[in-house]
Amino acid sequence: METQEFLTEEKKAQLETELEHLKTTVRSDILERLAFAKSLGDLSENAEYHSSKDAQGKNEARISQIEHILKNAVVVEANTDGTIGLGSKVILIKTETRQEKTYQIVGNEEADFSTGKISFESPIGSAIMNKQKGEVVGVETPKGVTEYEIKSVK
């Protein structure tokens, strides 16, 4: 069974831009490299040809992946009722250190911990889904349960 992909409008636009670039610029560059490599003669020991064919395969696979994601994805907007859902931006306070962290709850395709975008299926994401400002949640970590207070939801 396929899992449902969820995207913000911003990520959908990024994927559409990437898809257009791969289908036009990258495809064209690879075809030029292949034509040049073929002009060199013997293809069996032609490193340029084999490298270009490999690049072509990877490019076509990424095109197919993006097309599949865009065809099947659900574009989400953050809740406006104060309940945490996909697209929500939240500030959490780690109760033991009082350290604040800001996250945006996103789908798996968009998750990037280094930029504060966490999947709704991650330990923190799943713990705070459908919660509201002021609630305290426990998140299971390798070191035990860590508690977070939800400071704000946007």
Where do you find CATH 3.10.50.30 in the chain?
A: 78-153
User: For residue 2, what pLDDT is reported?
Assistant: 58
Domain 78-153 has CATH 3.40.1480.10: no
User: For residue 42, what pLDDT is reported?
Assistant: 79
d(CA 118, CA 138): 16
Report residue 27 CA to chain centroid gap. Answer: 23
Axis crossing angle, helix 27-39 with helix 47-72, rounded to the nearest 10? 160
d(CA 141, CA 27): 44
Where do you find CATH 1.10.287.180 in the chain?
A: 6-75
User: For residue 91, what pLDDT is reported?
Assistant: 95
* Architecture of the domain spanning 6-75: Orthogonal Bundle (1.10)
Per-residue pLDDT 10s for the chain (154 aa) are 456 788 888 889 999 999 999 999 999 999 999 999 888 877 778 888 999 999 999 999 999 999 999 998 888 887 778 899 988 999 999 999 999 999 999 988 889 989 999 999 999 999 999 999 999 999 988 889 999 999 999 8
